[in-house]
Structure 1
Amino acid sequence: MAPKKEKVDANKPALIGITAPKDEDFPSWYQQVLTKGDMLEYYDVSGCYIMKPGSYSVWEKIQAWFDGKIKEMGVQNAYFPMFVSSRVLEKEKDHVEGFAPEVAWVTKAGSTDLEEPIAIRPTSETVMYPYYAKWIRSHRDLPLKLNQWNSVVRWEFKHPQPFLRTREFLWQEGHTAFLTREEAEQEVLEVLDLYARIYEELLAVPVIKGHKTEKEKFAGGFFTTTTEGYIAATGRGIQGATSHCLGQNFSKMFGISVEDPKNDGEKINVWQNSWGLSTRVIGVMVMTHGDDKGLVMPPRVAQYQVVVIPCGITVKTTEEDKANIVDGVMKIEETLKKAGVRVVADTRDNYSPGWKFSDWELKGVPLRLEFGPMDFRKQQVVAARRATGQKDFLALADLAESIPKLLEEIQEEMYKKAKSSFDSHVIRVTNWEDFVPALNNKNLVQIPWCGVTDCEDKIKERSTRQDTGEEVDERAPSMGAKSLCIPFEQLEGIIPGETKCPACGRDAKVWCMFGRSY
Structure 2
Amino acid sequence: MSSQPPKEAVGITAKKSDDFSEWYTQVVMKAGLADYAPVKGFIVLRPYGYAVWESIRDILDRRFKETGHQNGFLPVLIPEGLLSKEEDHFAGFTPEVFWVTQAGNNDLGERLALRPTSETLAYSIFAKWITSYRDLPLKINFWNTALRAEIKATKPFIRTSEFLWQEGHTVHATEDDAEQEVMSILSIYRELIEDHLAVPAVRGFKSDKEKFVGAKYTTTLEGMMADGKALQMGTSHHLAQNFSKPFEIKYLGKDTKEHLAWQTSWGVSWRLIGAIIMVHGDDKGLILPPKIAPIQVVIVPIHKDKDAQAVKEKANEIAQELKNAGIRVHVDDRDEYTSGWKFNEWELKGVPLRINIGARDIEKGQVEFARRDIRDNKIQSPRTSLVDKTNELLEEVQKSLFSKAKALLDGYISSPASYPEFRSIIEGKGGFARAGWCGDQKCELAVKEETGADIRVIPFDQDGMPEKCIYCGQAAKKVAMFGRAY
Q: Could you say whether these structures have the same fold, taking a TM-score greater than 0.5 normalized by the shorter chain as the test?
A: yes
Aligned length: 479
Match of 2:213 in 1: 219
In structure 1, what is the equivalent of residue 423 of structure 2? 436
Query: Counterpart of 1:361?
Result: 347
1:271 and 2:259 correspond: no
1:136 aligns with 2:134: no
Q: Which amino acid aligns with 1:274?
A: S
Question: How far apart, in 1, do the equivalents of 2:71 and 2:314 lie?
Answer: 45
Task: Tell me which residue corresponds to 1:449.
Answer: 437
Structure 1 position 256 matched with structure 2 position 242: no
Residue in 1 that maps onto 2:468? 500
* Equivalent in the alignment of 2:411: 424
Q: Structure 1: which 5+ residue stretches go unaligned?
A: 1-11, 464-479
- State whether residues 306 and 367 of structure 1, in contact with CA within 8 Å, keep that contact through their aligned partners in structure 2: yes
Shift of 1:14: 5.7
- Distance in structure 1 (CA, Å) of the matches to 2:150 and 2:349: 30
CA shift at 1:166, angstroms? Answer: 0.6
Q: Between 326-335 and 354-363, report the one with greater CA deviation.
A: 326-335
In the alignment, is the contact (CA less than 8 A) between 1:445 and 1:513 conserved in 2? yes
Q: Which residue of 2 aligns with 1:290?
A: 281
1:116-127 correspondence runs (5 A): 116-127=110-121
CA contact (8 A) 1:438 1:445 kept: yes
State the Cα distance separating 1:419 from its structure 2 match: 0.7
Report if the CA contact (8 A) 1:368-1:383 is conserved.
yes
Task: Give the distance between the partners of 2:364 and 2:461, measured in 1 at CA.
Answer: 53
Which contiguous aligned blocks of 4+ residues in structure 1 show a shift greater than 4 angstroms? 12-15
CA distance in 2, matches of 1:14, 1:303: 21
The correspondence for 2:402, drawn from 415, 422, 440, is 415
Which aligned pairs between 1:183-194 and structure 2 lie closer than 5 A?
183-194=177-188
- The superposition leaves residues 107-158 of structure 1 with CA deviations (integer Å, 9 ceiling, x where unpaired) of 1111111121111110001101111111111222211111111111111222
The alignment's TM-score, normalised by the length of structure 1, stands at: 0.90
Q: Is the 8 A contact 2:42 2:162 kept in 1?
A: yes
Does the aligned pair in 2 maintain the 1:101–1:156 contact within 8 Å? Answer: no
User: 1:511 maps to what in 2?
Assistant: 479
Give CA deviations for 1:336-362 in whole Å, capped at 9, x if unaligned: 111111111111111111111111111
2 CA distance for matches of 1:401 and 1:414?
20
Does the alignment pair 1:31 with 2:17?
A: no
Question: Identity over the aligned pairs, expressed in percent?
Answer: 45
Paired with 2:431 and 2:22, the residues of 1 have a C-alpha distance of 22
- 2:309 alignment partner in structure 1: 323
How far is 1:27 from its partner? 1.2
Rounded Cα–Cα distance in structure 2 between residues aligned with 1:179 and 1:42 = 45
Quote the residue 2:453 is aligned against. Answer: 481
* Equivalent residue, structure 2, for 1:396: 383
- Which residue in 2 is equivalent to 1:5? none
Report the AA paired with residue 335 of structure 2: D
Shift in Å, 1:43:
1.1
What is the CA distance between 1:15 and its match in structure 2?
A: 6.4
- 2:447: which partner in 1? 459
| C-alpha separation in 2, matches of 1:231 and 1:50 | 23
Q: TM-score, normalised by structure 2?
A: 0.96
SS in 2 for 1:238: strand
Cα 1:15/1:78, change in 2 over 3 Å: closer
- In 1, the alpha carbon distance for the partners of 2:19 and 2:411 equals 23
Q: Which amino acid aligns with 1:152?
A: A
Q: What one-letter code is carried by the residue in structure 2 that aligns with 1:367?
A: L
Instruction: Give 1:73's aligned residue.
Output: 67
**Alpha-carbon distance in 1 for matches of 2:77, 2:123:** 14
For residue 454 of structure 1, what is the amino acid of its counterpart?
K
Tell me the CA shift for residue 94 of structure 1: 0.2
Whole-Å separation in 2 of the counterparts to 1:356 and 1:490:
50
Separation (CA, whole Å) in 2 of partners of 1:429 and 1:96: 38
Structure 2 gap segments, 5+ residues each: 1-5
